Chain A
Amino acid sequence: MAFLTLQGISKRYGDFTAIERLDLSVERGELLSLLGPSGCGKTTTLQMVAGFVTPTTGRILLDGRDITNERPEKRGIGVVFQSYALFPHMTVAGNVGFGLEMRKVKRKEREERVEEALALVRLKGLGHRYPKELSGGQRQRVAIARAIAMQPELLLLDEPMSNLDAKLREEMHIELRAIQKRLGITTILVTHDQVEAMTMSDRIAVMHRGAIAQLSTPYDAYERPATQFTSTFLGRTNAFAGEVLQRNPRCAIVDVAGTTLHVPHEGRHVDGAVNVYIRPEKVHLANGNGANARVRGRIATRVFVGNQWLLEVETGLGKLRVAQPNHGAPPPEEGDEVGLDWTDDDLRVLTQDIRENANGHA
Chain B
Amino acid sequence: MATLDDARPGAAPWLLSGPALLLFIGLLLVPLLLTLLLSFRVFSDTAGVLPSFTLGNYWEVVSDPYYGTIFLRTAGLAFAVTLLSIVLGVPETIVLARMKRPWQSLCLLIVLGPLLISVVVRTLGWQILLGNNGVLNNVLQALHITDEPVRLVFTMTGVIIALTHVLVPFMVMSVWATMQKLDPQMEWAGRSLGGSPLAVFRRVILPQIMPGVLSGSIIVFALSASAFATPALIGGRRLKVVATAAYDEFLGTLNWPLGASIAVLLLIANVAIVMGCSRLAERRFRHIFD
Contacts and interface: CB of A to CB of B under 8 A. Distances in A.
Contact of A98 (B195, B207, B287, B289): B195
Contacts of A83: 183, 185
A52 B288 contact: no
5 contacts: A50-B192, A72-B191, A73-B192, A81-B185, A87-B204
A76 interface: yes
Interface string B185-211: 110111111111001000110011000
A87 B195 contact: no
B194 A103 contact: yes
Contacts of B64: none
A293 B244 CA distance: 99
Interface of A: 50-52, 71-73, 75-79, 81-83, 85-89, 98-99, 102-103, 130, 132-133, 146-147, 150
Interface residue SS majority, chain B: helix
Nearest to B199: A102
Contact of A89 (B193, B194, B208): B208
B290 interface: yes
Interface in B149-190: 183, 185-186, 188-190
Contacts of B203: 87, 98
A81 B188 contact: yes
A85 B205 CA distance: 12
B194 A99 contact: yes
Contact of A73 (B196, B204, B288): B196
* Size bracket of the B interface: 20 to 34
A130 B196 CA distance: 24
B190 to A, nearest CB: 7
Given A73-B196, A150-B193, A130 B186 contact: no
A75 B287 CA distance: 33
Contact of B191 (A52, A82, A86, A146): A52
Nearest to A143: B189
A88 B192 contact: no
Indicate the member of B189, B190, B192, B199 with the most A CB atoms within 10 Å: B192
B290 A132 contact: yes
B208 A88 contact: yes
